[in-house]
């Protein structure tokens, strides 16, 4: 095994620039130039030579201008038909521009045959577990848009926090995640290698870099996937437990040897990022024992070792594994406490083109509560850098979407700076992420977070990453002379350096060596990954700055205190960030659940309405059927005349009786009404007749009165009285128009006196002498007691006895009408009224039963 001294590696090329991230020469050229400027400070360049160089530059610009004009001449419009010179030149330029830098032009290692992926390839690997927890269900592979994809379903165990949250929110405890492929617990190391790393090997030999990293919580199988068990790395024969790294090495050796390419050499760097510091795992010091010497401040100082054979490569891997920081925690007795990065560099010695394959074993994300919390600083740094990695992934995804201005915090951790070097380069699409998962129920909650980030990574479209992301931050800085330096555009000093590099490499190198001799290797204090400086200083940098700015001689105990407080703050920040993420996820779940509830409510309402409607329709139909049935039954009964059976349809007897009685009652009422109407009609007719008669008699009486007055005034009184008497004898007055005898109803018989008009003034003495008959005035409307005249001079009342009980009464009964007495008649009833002003006599009364007045008037009373 040939071990290459790190300084020899770093300085054996003409343009001796550390090429850990060698694509930067093209893509991040300016930052490299910034660094170069530090090797060639402006102070060392005389003004004269600067003037000369400016002239050279102007000449070059003029030359370029002339070339442009010539090109325009040749490609002016009208010459752009297919096959024309203009088109072919344009095509060539386009082809040239699109071509990624450093692609090896030879055919033997043409890029992979697999379709060029635009997105990161994200795989899932489940590690075997002792217990039978079945939290992850692997679904069959499917093809989406021509690509094979595979999903898993996670089932939250009842003991998990996710389960409780899902239940509390009413959401599902099952979630789905999609991957390029899922490796089950029994998947072989070979199967994982073939899918994740193998496709990049050809490209790496052809000058195209690739990055594969394993991500997961502690004890999920990352180290196992990357390297496999230690003891298997001792032999060159492939062990089935070999991880990705030894397999990749073997594959590279096999391919480069088979293709007869002695000009290709393999080199390896292996380092770890521990507590945000870089440690070389293959430095000379680390070979003999861990000392502070293996702490490196930049990637440029990390050793790069030539790997002449597979055995040497396996030894390096084994060595690095030994040197890597591990610790025993409550979960994993050999838990990696750092991110381990292996860089296999393929150098084409004939063209000096380099390409890299990075295989990264990340430290496991963890909760200090679960792992014991004794190594808080480690845990905080691990979580912090993983959090930054996640933020960068999220930023990349957003920047490929609509958030073009999303700030990607590359510089917040060393790990992300390294990854950014690849992701912002031309081969960002050649990235595989292997998610390692332990399906144990106890790991479920943390695994969910890991899986959610895998979804983010899967959705990064590397082709859509805006150019400004690839060369971020146009940063304004000032050089030592106060000249304004704008990264992205070469400053005058940079132009000078470039020209010197081109015109006189020897002079450039000499100047650089001078610089190296005068300065410590780390004196340039440039960033380890030589990225363009961003305005936005990272927190880590600020912390560093604070440390630098701390007053000299300050108490070291205070400093320790400050550091420990800072560490606590960073732990809390990480925890806080995790909680925020969790909170956001929960909020999203809540929103989703709210939507679900609303839609479920709407569905339920619709369902209930439909159900009710259908029930009502069914009921209505039932009633219709019953009615129809009864109608048919009735018709049948009627047509068959089956009384007996028809009687079944009758209502109960009581009801029938009620109906009958009600009908009778109604009939009675109708009859009564009819009778009443008849009576009223009759009464009306009788009344009319009576009135007519009365008016007639009134007229007669009137004439008689007139005559009587005349008689009284004259000598014909007697004869006239006799005449009255005679007429009285015959006068029968019938009530209601009935003639005496013809109708029994309401006869009213009037004797002679009665018929005498009440206003009749008679000379009683004279009459009395001639008419000594007793005269009772009786009126009787009652047909049951018709009055009759017993003789023509006397009308006997049925109560005649009353008025003729004694002689004295007999005497007194002999009543004589006062000559000037006035008897008035009620026109409506036809009764005679008691003479006005007269006091009633004992013989005078109203017989209720007969409805008649009996009047006995003693003439001598008057
Ligand atoms: N696919 C596998 N087959 C057999 N054993 C495995 C597999 N994956 C992991 N293991 C075993 O599980 C244990 C933990 O694995 P490993 O150390 O690789 O986890 P890790 O994710 O690297 O953990 P940490 O982040 O703490 O370093 C080891 O004993 C390892 O041998």
Q: Using the mean position of ligand 1's atoms as its centre, give its distance from the Cα of residue 335 in Å.
A: 9
Residue of 233, 328, 332, 335 to test ligand 1 pocket, by largest number of atoms within 8 Å of CB = 332
Separation in Å, CA 118 to CA 208, 430, 462, 709: 15, 8, 6, 148
- For ligand 1, whether the C-beta of 219 sits within 6 Å is yes
Distance 185 CA to ligand 1 centre (A): 12
- Domain residue ranges of the chain, discontinuous segments joined by +: 24-78+478-518, 101-469, 715-861
Ligand 1 pocket check for 335: Cβ under 6 Å: yes
Residue 409, ligand 1, Cβ within 6 A: no
Q: What is the pLDDT of residue 323?
A: 79
Q: How far does the centroid of ligand 1 lie from the alpha carbon of residue 223, in Å? A: 6
CA of 219 to the centre of ligand 1 (A): 5
- Ligand 1 contact via 532 beta carbon (within 6 Å): no
Residue 232: CB within 6 Å of ligand 1? no
**Ligand 1 centroid distance, CA of 757 (Å):** 149
Mutate to test the pocket of ligand 1, among 221, 327, 334 (most ligand atoms within 8 A of CB): 221
Q: Which atom of ligand 1 is nearest to the CA of 337?
A: 27
Report the relative pairing of strands 305-306 and 326-327 from DSSP bridges: unpaired
439 lines ligand 1 (CB under 6 A): no
Assess whether the C-beta atom of 511 lies below 6 angstroms from ligand 1: no
Ligand 1 centroid to residue 436 C-alpha, Å:
9
Which atom of ligand 1 approaches the CA of 126 most closely?
1
- Residue 360: its pLDDT value, please? 95
ipTM: 0.98
Would you give the end-to-end CA distance of the chain in angstroms? 181
**How remote is the CA of residue 381 from the centroid of ligand 1, in Å?**
21
Atom of ligand 1 nearest to the CA of 187: 1
Residue 804 sits at the vertex; the CA angle it makes with 801 and 810, to the nearest 5 degrees, is: 175
Residue 588 CA: distances (Å) to CA of 391, 396, 423, 735? 18, 21, 29, 109
Does 356 contact ligand 1 (Cβ within 6 A)? no
Ligand 1 atom nearest the C-alpha of 335 is 26
Binding residues for ATP: 216-223
> What average pLDDT values come out for the chain (862 residues) when binned by 10 residues?
36 32 33 31 42 61 64 52 49 48 39 59 91 84 86 90 85 90 93 94 90 92 90 76 93 80 85 85 62 57 86 89 70 72 89 89 72 62 85 79 65 84 84 92 88 86 60 36 42 55 59 53 34 35 44 61 75 74 76 77 81 84 85 81 54 75 86 88 87 87 84 55 46 35 34 37 35 39 38 39 37 38 61 51 55 50 34
Angle between helices 85-98 and 47-74 (to 10 degrees): 130
Q: Which residues contact 551 (CB under 8 A, 6 or more apart)?
A: none
Sign of CA dihedral 658, 663, 664, 665: positive
CA of 358 to the centre of ligand 1 (A): 20
Structural tokens at position 119 = 């997105």
Q: CB of 371 closer than 6 A to ligand 1?
A: no
Q: Cα separations (Å) of 305 from 2, 8, 317, 320, 347?
A: 8, 10, 12, 12, 12
Helix, coil or strand: residue 256: helix
User: From ligand 1's centre to the CA of 195, what distance in Å?
Assistant: 20
> What beta strand segments (E) does 180-300 contain?
181-183, 210-216, 264-274, 277-280, 295-296
- Cα–ligand 1 centroid distance for 286 (angstroms): 25
* Helix, strand, coil tally for the chain in percent (to 5): 50, 15, 35
Q: Give every CB contact of residue 202 below 8 A, 6+ residues apart in sequence.
A: 109, 110, 111, 112, 113, 255
CA of 221 to the centre of ligand 1 (A): 3
What distance in Å separates the CA atoms of residue 723 and residue 700, rounded to the nearest whole number? 15
Ligand 1 close to Cβ of residue 747 (< 6 A): no
**Relative to the CA of 125, which ligand 1 atom is closest?**
1
Fold adopted by 101-469: Kinesin (3.40.850)
Which atom from ligand 1 is nearest to the alpha carbon of 326? Answer: 27
- Does the Cβ of 221 fall within 6 Å of ligand 1? yes
CB of 845 shorter than 6 A to ligand 1: no
> Rounded to an integer, what distance in angstroms lies between the CA atom of residue 750 and that of residue 832?
10
Residue 137 · residue 155 · CB < 8 Å: yes
Distance 332 CA to ligand 1 centre (A): 8
Is the CB of 224 within 6 Å of ligand 1?
Answer: yes
pLDDT for 222:
93
**Could you tell me if the CB of 68 is within 6 A of ligand 1?**
no
Does 241 sit in the ligand 1 pocket, CB within 6 Å?
A: no
Which atom number of ligand 1 is nearest to the Cα of residue 224? Answer: 18
Instruction: Measure the CA dihedral 554/559/561/562, to 10°.
Output: 110
Output the known binding site.
Answer: 216-223
Specify which residues 336 forms β-bridges with: 326
Q: Report CA(370)–ligand 1 centroid distance (Å).
A: 17
List all residues 6 or more positions away from 54 whose beta carbon is below 8 Å from its beta carbon: 492
The answer to whether the CB of 218 is under 6 A from ligand 1 is yes
Distance 440 CA to ligand 1 centre (A): 13
Instruction: Give the pLDDT of residue 213.
Output: 95
Atom of ligand 1 nearest to the CA of 189: 1
Give the closest residue to 425 by CA, choosing from 27, 704, 805, 84. 27
pTM: 0.48
Check residue 184 and give its pLDDT: 93
Atom of ligand 1 nearest to the CA of 216: 21
Whether residue 220 has its Cβ less than 6 Å from ligand 1: yes
Relative to the CA of 364, which ligand 1 atom is closest?
A: 25
Cβ of 216 below 6 Å from ligand 1: yes
Q: Tell which atom from ligand 1 comes closest to the C-alpha of 336.
A: 27
CA gap 15, 522 in Å, rounded? 19
C-beta 850 within 6 A of ligand 1: no
pLDDT at res. 76:
53
* Contact 300 CB / ligand 1 (< 6 Å): no
Six-digit token string for 363: 């430290």
Residue 436 Cβ < 6 Å to ligand 1: yes
Does any ligand 1 atom lie closer than 6 A to the CB of residue 127? yes
Cα 220 to ligand 1 centre (Å): 6
- E strands, 659-739, are none
Q: What is the 337 CA–ligand 1 centroid distance (Å)?
A: 14
């Amino acid at each position: 095994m040939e071990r290459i001294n790190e300084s020899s590696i770093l300085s054996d090329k003409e343009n001796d620039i550390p090429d850990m991230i060698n694509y930067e020469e093209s893509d991040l050229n300016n930052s490299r130039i910034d660094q170069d400027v530090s090797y060639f400070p402006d102070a060392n360049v005389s003004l004269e030579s600067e003037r000369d160089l400016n002239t050279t530059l102007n000449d070059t610009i003029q030359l370029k201008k002339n070339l442009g004009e010539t090109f325009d001449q040749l490609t002016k419009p009208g010459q752009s038909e297919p096959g024309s010179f203009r088109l072919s030149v344009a095509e060539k330029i386009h082809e040239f521009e699109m071509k990624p830098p450093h692609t090896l032009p030879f055919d033997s290692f043409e890029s992979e045959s697999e379709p060029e992926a635009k997105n990161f390839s994200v795989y899932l690997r489940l590690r075997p577990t002792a217990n039978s927890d079945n939290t992850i269900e692997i679904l069959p592979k499917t093809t989406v848009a021509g690509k094979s994809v595979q999903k898993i379903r996670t089932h939250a165990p009842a003991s998990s926090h996710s389960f409780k949250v899902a239940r509390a929110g009413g959401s599902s405890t099952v979630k789905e995640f999609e991957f390029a492929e899922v490796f089950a617990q029994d998947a072989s190391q070979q199967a994982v290698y073939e899918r994740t790393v193998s496709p990049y090997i050809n490209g790496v030999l052809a000058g195209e870099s690739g990055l594969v990293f394993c991500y997961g919580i502690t004890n999920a199988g990352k180290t196992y996937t990357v390297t496999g068990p230690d003891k298997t790395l001792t032999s060159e024969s492939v062990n089935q437990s070999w991880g990705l790294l030894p397999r990749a090495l073997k594959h590279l050796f096999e391919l480069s040897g088979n293709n007869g390419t002695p000009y290709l050499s393999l080199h390896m760097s292996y380092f770890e990022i521990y507590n945000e510091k870089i440690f070389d795992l293959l430095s000379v010091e680390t070979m003999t024992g861990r000392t502070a010497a293996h702490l490196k401040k930049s990637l440029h100082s990390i050793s790069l070792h030539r790997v002449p054979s597979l055995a040497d490569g396996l030894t390096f891997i084994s060595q690095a594994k030994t040197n890597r920081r591990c610790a025993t925690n409550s979960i994993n007795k050999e838990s990696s406490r750092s991110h381990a990065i292996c860089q296999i560099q393929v150098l084409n010695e004939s063209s000096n083109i380099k390409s890299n394959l990075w295989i990264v074993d990340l430290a496991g994300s963890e909760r200090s509560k679960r792992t014991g919390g004794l190594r808080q600083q480690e845990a905080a740094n691990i979580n912090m850098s993983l959090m930054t990695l996640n933020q960068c992934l999220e930023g990349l995804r957003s920047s490929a979407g609509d958030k073009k201005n999303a700030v990607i915090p590359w510089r917040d951790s060393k790990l992300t700076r390294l990854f950014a070097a690849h992701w912002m380069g031309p081969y960002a699409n050649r990235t595989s992420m292997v998610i390692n998962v332990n399906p144990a129920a106890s790991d479920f909650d943390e695994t969910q977070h890991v899986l959610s980030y895998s979804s983010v990574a899967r959705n990064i479209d590397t082709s859509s990453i805006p150019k400004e992301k690839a060369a971020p931050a146009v940063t304004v800085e000032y050089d030592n002379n106060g000249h304004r330096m704008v990264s992205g555009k070469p400053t005058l000093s940079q132009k000078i350096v470039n020209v010197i590099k081109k015109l006189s490499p020897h002079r450039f190198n000499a100047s650089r060596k001078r610089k190296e001799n005068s300065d410590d290797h780390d004196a340039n204090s440039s960033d380890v990954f030589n990225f363009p400086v961003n305005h936005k200083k990272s927190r880590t940098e600020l912390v560093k700055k604070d440390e630098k700015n701390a007053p000299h001689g300050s108490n070291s105990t205070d400093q320790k205190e400050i550091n420990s407080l800072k560490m606590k703050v960073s732990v809390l920040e990480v925890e806080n960030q995790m909680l925020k993420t969790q909170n956001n996820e929960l909020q999203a779940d809540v929103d989703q659940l709210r939507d679900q509830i609303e839609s479920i409510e709407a569905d339920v309402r619709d369902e209930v309405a439909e159900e009710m409607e259908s029930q009502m329709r069914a009921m209505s139909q039932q009633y219709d059927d019953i009615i129809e049935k009864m109608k048919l039954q009735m018709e049948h009964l009627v047509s068959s005349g089956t009384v007996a059976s028809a009687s079944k349809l009758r209502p109960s007897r009581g009801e029938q009786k009620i109906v009958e009685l009600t009908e009778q009652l109604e009939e009675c009422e109708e009859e009564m009404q009819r009778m009443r109407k008849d009576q009223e009609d009759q009464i009306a007719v009788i009344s009319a007749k009576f009135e007519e008669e009365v008016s007639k008699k009134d007229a007669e009486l009137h004439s008689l009165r007139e005559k009587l007055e005349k008689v009284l005034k004259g000598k014909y009184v007697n004869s006239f009285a006799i005449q009255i008497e005679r007429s009285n004898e015959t006068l029968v007055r019938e009530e209601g128009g009935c003639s005496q005898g013809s109708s029994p109803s309401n006869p009213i018989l009037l004797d002679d006196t009665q018929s005498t008009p009440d206003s009749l003034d008679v000379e009683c003495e004279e009459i009395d002498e001639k008419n000594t008959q007793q005269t009772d005035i009786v009126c009787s409307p009652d047909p049951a007691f018709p009055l009759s005249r017993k003789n023509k001079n006397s009308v006997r009342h049925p109560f005649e006895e009353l008025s003729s009980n004694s002689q004295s009464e007999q005497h007194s009964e002999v009543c004589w009408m006062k000559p000037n007495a006035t008897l008035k008649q009620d026109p409506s009833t036809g009764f005679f009224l008691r003479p006005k002003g007269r006091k009633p006599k004992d013989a005078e009364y109203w017989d209720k039963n007969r409805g008649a007045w009996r009047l006995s008037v003693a003439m001598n009373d008057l």
